[in-house]
Amino acid sequence: MSGGVDSAVAAARALDAGHDVTGVHLALSPAPASLRHGARGCCTLEDARDARRAADVLGIPFYVWDFHERFAEDVVDDFVAEYAAGRTPNPCLRCNEKIKFAAVLDRAVALGFDAVVTGHHARLSGGVLRRSVDPAKDQSYVLAVLTCEQLAGAVFPLGGSTKDDVRREAAARGLGVADKPDSHDVCFIADGDTRGFLTRRLGERPGDLVDAESGAVVGRHGGAFGFTVGQRRGLRIDHPAGDGTPRYVLSISPATSTVTVGPAALLDVTAVYAGPPVWTCGEPMLPFAGTAQLRAHGAVSDAVARLADGRLVVELGQAQRGIAAGQAVVLYDDDRVVGSATIESAR
Amino acid sequence: MTSGPRNPVYLDHAATTPMLPAAVQAMYEQLIRVGNPSSLHAAGRESRRVVEQAREDIAAAVGARPSEVIFTSGGTESDNLAVKGLFWSRRDADLRRRRIIASAIEHHAVLDSLEWLRKHEDAEVTYLPVDSLGRVHPAALRAAIAEAPEDVALVSVMWANNEVGTVQPIRELAAVAHEHGIPFHTDAVQAVGVLPVDFTASGVDALTLTGHKLGGPMGAGALLLGRDIACTPVLHGGGQERDVRSGTLDAPAIAGLAAAVAHSARDRVERAERLAALRDTLVHGVVQRVSGAVLNGDPGEKLIDGGPSRLPGNAHLSFSGCEGDALLMLLDARGVECSTGSACSAGVSQPSHVLLAMGASVDRARGSLRFALGHPSTEADVDHLLNVIAPVVERARRAGMAGARRESASAREHPTGADWTQADGVPGREPGFGREHTAGADRSEAGGPAQ
């Protein structure tokens, strides 16, 4: 229970279904701030209090579990290392994979619980993971990394409802978090300044911004880790491209601290090369024809996936822009999650 | 699963203990009356009469003079007032006095006051070590003072430790401080009502006590402050309480506090003996049933200042291979309410600074529980704990292993395809956590600040 509306309603529904429910709030920071600011994070003492109050209203026991060391290691350090390696990680996905449905689930099962219930917007039934009925809130992308075994210990009661329904239900149940704003951005970067956070962790690593077409140095930067493939804003390029079109980050080379920029057209990719896949409920018939999503809340493309040396190769029916290594490619059969893998390269 | 009793077994009396009927009655009688004790009219005088009677009753119960009783809002305020107030007044009298000597196992109300003084008032703090039983040795205090006797503002050592229950040789320690004319404060929050606390005989200059640890209300306490001890106030205002603690006197709470102090002093000897016997049953029972369970702190077999060397109701145990908060949850689910004993923020327990100071490893510190018996505790309470403790520890140990495992989901004994919409459809339900829901489900503290 993060202290948000989704997990509060998820707990309520699990309770209604007749389960023996205990509320658990994860302490993920060694020194949580007292008050929440803006829409970021879910790790302040105020959020813990909101979670506690929701548990009180539901009449369930409530505890805080301290996972800040595991979180720092598996999520935050991983986040920093991925950026340092020129990739763009998704920490929510990593948290689901390593914390919520690994460390927390393991501890819960060992303590005698049967499953971890969360307020994720996705449907899960009989081991089949599907998108939420609310496409704007669907979170199946960040859950697709879960193995069949992890999903067996997971319960997502909200997938059949829209966010508006969830908020209405929270209000009807007297849960004070009914109109609490949604949380956005990276929960452990309180001020939302990812580049500043990475600079504090990694130090300045100045380098060049190089134009892909002319090879000319068009600017300097404080660290290649501050960039994401497909990024347009904040490049601070001194002079415009010859044809006057905006330039985007095309690739990042941490070894030389070089960021290559170029026109949008060079961002288009039609093939994605990823690591070994996690199949949600068993390996599908390969090659698999369905759809692929390449970032959270990103566009969906027709896709054909196959294995090459145990790694996933996905051909895209429609060219996609700004595909960053480190993100996940998630394969869907209609609204059903088939599997996922971490993107290594694209062309 | 092992079913808990209808009413939970409350073994956290060191956190707070139920109010005594006499205290409830005394408080109620004042709650329904009007009158500010500082007012000059009849209603005010009546309220003042109650406060002054309470002051005399408390003084009589703890061997102090009525003028030495300063009413406060409780332990934290009394500790803050003593530590900061004595520091300021002593330093202002002689600017060299910037050093405070305190034990390493003080409650956070003292420790955090010290840290605040260090940060904001240029104070220096010398922490006294404790031995493996959690005891401060007078020789250690003597050595600490001898480093530079003229710069010591005050000494603060708690009477009995709230976590591990070890009683300190307060008379001896106070005498050492007095060799150099240094005032001595003691946090006696856990001691009053169960140990022979005599303010005058102990020789201490300031003593913290609070109501809710001995059957009085929360939010009411006192600082006993010797008549000749100067103490700079923390709260300024109407000049109540010798000008040391301003604020309208909370007559109902003070009446409840006095009733509780008087009552607990009256039957102290009999109750302490009963609790010590019960505690020994608990400790021996747990150690017998659980391999790797060890008692922390002094065994309580000696006498210190005419009382036992361990708090009679305190049983603080470490369970190897467990996390204290897992044990706490599992016991809570079986209707046993206890504490990890250490302070917490947001319900996250830190490894106890007390156990670490005693030389325990972080793992041992984390795998500890405090069972604290109090005036309503019975043999049935202890029996219930002994009935559930062995399987609980066994399960917590497994959970501890799960927590230590980096690989996820490798050997999970878990059902597949649980359909969440049907509780009965969840297969593989084993006698594990499953809470026997008890009445009064709003007990939501996970760890709870301890003292």
pLDDT digits (tens, 9 = 90+) for A268-303: 899 999 999 999 988 999 999 999 999 888 889 999
pLDDT of residue B450: 41
Q: Quick one: angle between helices B75-93 and B108-120, nearest 10? A: 40
Mean per-residue pLDDT for B115-124? 98
Q: Do B326 and A111 touch (CB under 8 A)?
A: yes
| B21-265: CATH number | 3.40.640.10
Res. B446: pLDDT tops 90: no
- Confidence at A263, pLDDT banded by 50, 70, 90: confident
- Annotation says A187 is catalytic: yes
Q: Scanning the structure block, which residue is given the tokens 């495992």?
A: B405
Residues A89-95: contacts with CB under 8 Å, at least 24 apart: A89/A326, A89/A327, A90/A142, A90/A295, A90/A296, A90/A326, A90/A327, A90/A328, A91/A186, A91/A187, A91/A188, A92/A142, A92/A296, A93/A141, A93/A142, A93/A144, A93/A145, A93/A296, A93/A328, A94/A145, A95/A71
Shortest Cα distance from A1 to chain B (angstroms)? 13
CATH 2.30.30 fits domain A204-266? yes
Q: Percentage of residues in chain A with pLDDT exceeding 70?
A: 97
CA dist., res. A303 & res. A319, Å (int): 10
Domain boundaries, chain B: 9-18+269-405, 21-265
pLDDT of residue B347: 56
Q: Taking a contact as any Cβ pair under 8 Å apart, which residues of chain B between 354 and 373 contact chain A?
A: none
The chain B residue lying nearest A112, using CA atoms, is: B432
Which chain A residues have a beta carbon less than 8 Å from that of B392?
A: none
pLDDT of residue A179: 87
Q: Taking a contact as any Cβ pair under 8 Å apart, which residues of chain B between 331 and 350 contact chain A?
A: 332-333, 345-349
Res. B262: pLDDT tops 60: yes
Condensed to tens digits (0 to 9), the pLDDT of residues B194-248 reads: 999 999 999 999 999 999 999 999 999 999 999 999 999 999 999 999 999 999 9
Shortest Cα distance from A146 to chain B (angstroms)? 10
Domain boundaries, chain A: 5-179, 204-266, 268-346
Mean per-residue pLDDT for A69-92? 93
Q: Do B395 and A110 touch (CB under 8 A)?
A: yes
Q: Which fold has domain A268-346?
A: Elongation Factor Tu (Ef-tu); domain 3 (2.40.30)
| A207 vs B: CB within 8 A | no
Which chain A residues have a beta carbon less than 8 Å from that of B330?
A: 111-112
Q: Percentage of residues in chain A with pLDDT exceeding 90?
A: 63
Question: Quick one: tokens of B74?
Answer: 């409780």
- Confidence at A92, pLDDT banded by 50, 70, 90: very high
- Confidence at A232, pLDDT banded by 50, 70, 90: confident
| 3-class state of residue A310 by DSSP | coil
pLDDT of residue B447: 37
| B415 vs A: CB within 8 A | yes
- Nearest CB among A59, A60, A111 relative to B433 is that of A111
pLDDT of residue B448: 38
Higher pLDDT, A214 or A310: A310
CA dist., res. B110 & res. B77, Å (int): 10
Res. A331: pLDDT tops 60: yes
Q: Do B408 and A20 touch (CB under 8 A)?
A: no
Which chain B residues have a beta carbon less than 8 Å from that of A72?
A: none
pLDDT of residue B412: 41
CA quadruple A334, A340, A346, A347: dihedral sign: negative
Q: Decide: A50 and A176 in contact? Cβ < 8 Å.
A: yes
| A5-179: CATH number | 3.40.50.620
Res. B445: pLDDT tops 60: no
Q: Find out whether the peptide bond into B391 is cis, omega within 30 degrees of 0.
A: no
State the catalytic residues of B. Answer: 344
Mean per-residue pLDDT for A227-240? 79
Res. B115: pLDDT tops 80: yes
- Tally DSSP H helices, then E strands, for chain B: 13, 16
Which chain A residues have a beta carbon less than 8 Å from that of B442?
A: 56, 59
Shortest Cα distance from A49 to chain B (angstroms)? 8
Count the Cβ atoms, other than its own, within 10 Å of residue B339.
28
Task: Give this prediction's pTM.
Answer: 0.86
Averaged pLDDT score across all residues of chain B: 89
CATH class of B9-18+269-405: alpha beta
- Nearest CB among B402, B429, B444 relative to A55 is that of B444
Q: Do A112 and B430 touch (CB under 8 A)?
A: yes
| A206 vs B: CB within 8 A | no
Q: Decide: B278 and B382 in contact? Cβ < 8 Å.
A: yes
The chain B residue lying nearest A24, using CA atoms, is: B446
pLDDT of residue A29: 83
Res. A152: pLDDT tops 50: yes
Q: Do B444 and A52 touch (CB under 8 A)?
A: yes
Shortest Cα distance from B335 to chain A (angstroms)? 12
- Confidence at B440, pLDDT banded by 50, 70, 90: very low
- Annotation says A95 is catalytic: yes
Res. B438: pLDDT tops 60: no
Higher pLDDT, A30 or A241: A30
Give the dihedral of Cα atoms B345, B347, B348, B350; nearest 10 deg: 60
Please state whether beta strands B152-156 and B99-103 pair in parallel, antiparallel, or not at all (unpaired).
Answer: parallel
Condensed to tens digits (0 to 9), the pLDDT of residues B388-424 reads: 999 999 999 988 776 554 444 333 444 343 444 544 4
Q: Taking a contact as any Cβ pair under 8 Å apart, which residues of chain A between 107 and 166 contact chain B?
A: 107-115, 117, 124-127, 147-150, 152-153, 155-157
Averaged pLDDT score across all residues of chain A: 91
- Confidence at A255, pLDDT banded by 50, 70, 90: confident
Q: Do A48 and B346 touch (CB under 8 A)?
A: yes
Condensed to tens digits (0 to 9), the pLDDT of residues B130-149 reads: 999 999 999 999 999 999 99
- Nearest CB among B329, B426, B437 relative to A63 is that of B329
